Each structure stands twice: as structure tokens, then as C-alpha cells.
Amino acid sequence: QVQLHESGPGLMKPSETLSLTCTVSGSSISNYYWTWIRQPPGKGLEWIGYYYHSGNTNYNASLKSRVSISMDASTGQFSLRLTSVTTADTAVYYCARSDSLDYFFDSWGQGILVTVSS
Amino acid sequence: DIVLTQSPGTLSLSPGDRATLSCRASQSVGGSYLAWYQQKPGQAPRLLIYATSSRPIDIPDRFRGSGSGTDFTLTIKRLEPEDFAVYYCQQYDNSVWTFGQGTKVEI
């Protein structure tokens, strides 16, 4: 059974760098897109970006200048780094796995709320 | 990037009713890469439909997906009490995923 679990700080100050980790268990790393998605309180889902097992990445154009996603296959963890956070980055952050044939998210973490406040 | 617009924003129905949710894309969605998710308060989204009309084995058959090109529909044949939630469509195109803004199905 595939499980994903997010970890990281719950509270941050503006201008800091957000670092989140997703621990994957029960899944091969290959042939999946390891993805971060966020959801501001009371709002919809926003795709942030992915890391593919080959090392390829791609990011939401609106965040591209501030975001990076990396993966350590040996530990089964992938990470999100978002620089210069503002209150607009307050959201529940989910890690998820996307299939590489039909490009849907079949496994999700439970989500972690990150609040940016001075 | 392809923009997905869902309608209506809110659907007020009763248990046993049929629900029809729409998802319209700003350009054609290639490869049938269109999925639907259900989200309840405090929970992560749950996959309902992928590849426009395919259902994971644990999803009841009252959930049906259809459509092509720019127009897609999620139909819930007879609403059960546990179906009242927010539903999102999602597409993939050229290494970018996007979501619709969601439709809330309420009692």
C-alpha cells in the first residue's frame, strides 16, 4: 500500500525559505511524477511542480522563480523548497504521486498546513 | 496553460438525486488526460475518475465520467449522504497539471 507523509514547519515568517519533505513508502520511485500541490484555506488546488525519477523537473510558471523540488531515491524522500515566502503562501501543502501514463494523482499525503505570519 | 472552468460553483441537491458537474477546458485536452477528485473537509482529495471515464476499483459505479475535447462531465447517478463534498477536475498537458476551481455539492 502506497503511503506519503509530509513533514516540515507549520509556522513561518515572511521572507523565510519553506522546506518540506515527503516520505514515500510502498512504492517504486521509477515511472512516477513526484508532485507538490497546495491549497490556500477555503480555496482550490494549485499544482506546484514535480520531480520525475529521471531527474527532470517542471514548475508552475507563477512560482518558477522561487521553487525547487528534489528527490533522494535512497531514502524514498522528496522535498519542496520555496524561497521568500509571503502570507499568500499560507496553505495546506500536499505531496502526491502521478501516474506516467494517464497523468492523474492516485496517492496523496494527508497534507500539512503552513502558515506564514509576522 | 490550459484553464479549467467548473460549473456550477455550488449544486444544492438531496440524497437520491442525480448530480451533473461540468468542466470546460480553454483548449482541447489531449490524450483524455482528464481526472476528477472528491474532497471532504480536512481531507486530501480522493481520485474518482481518470482518463475521462475510468474508475479505480474502489470507486462505486454511481460515479461516471464522460466527455472529450473541451467539455467533460462528472455524473453521480444517485447521491448518497457521503457524496456531499467538493469536486475538482484536473488535466495534464505538456508537463503541466491544472485544476478547476471546484464544484461544491451540498444538501
Is the pLDDT higher at B31 or at A59? A59
pLDDT one-digit tens code per residue, A61-104: 999 999 999 999 889 999 999 999 999 999 999 999 998 888 99
Q: Where does the pLDDT of residue B107 fall: very low under 50, low under 70, confident under 90, or very high at 90 and above?
A: confident
Query: Contacts of residue B33 in chain A, CB cutoff 8 Å?
Result: 102-104
pLDDT one-digit tens code per residue, B69-87: 999 999 999 999 999 999 9
pLDDT one-digit tens code per residue, A12-42: 999 999 999 999 999 988 899 999 999 999 9
Q: Tell me, what's the pLDDT at A82? A: 98
Strand (E) or helix (H) holding A25: strand A18-25
- Residue B31: pLDDT over 90: no
Task: Please name the member of B35, B44, B99 whose beta carbon is closest to the beta carbon of A47.
Answer: B99
Closest residue in B to A97 (Cα) is B47
Q: DSSP string spanning A28-96?
A: -STTEEEEEEEE-TTS--EEEEEEETTS-EEE-TTTTTTEEEEEETTTTEEEEEE-S--GGG-EEEEEE
Q: Tell me, what's the pLDDT at B59? A: 97
Task: Please name the member of B54, B95, B101 whose beta carbon is closest to the beta carbon of A58.
Answer: B95
- Residue A43: pLDDT over 90: yes
The residues pairing with A59 across neighbouring beta strands, listed in sequence order, are: A49
Instruction: Give mean pLDDT, residues B3-23.
Output: 97
Q: Tell me, what's the pLDDT at B32? A: 85
- Residue B38: pLDDT over 90: yes
Rounded Cα distance between B31 and B29, Å, is 7
Q: Tell me, what's the pLDDT at B51? A: 95
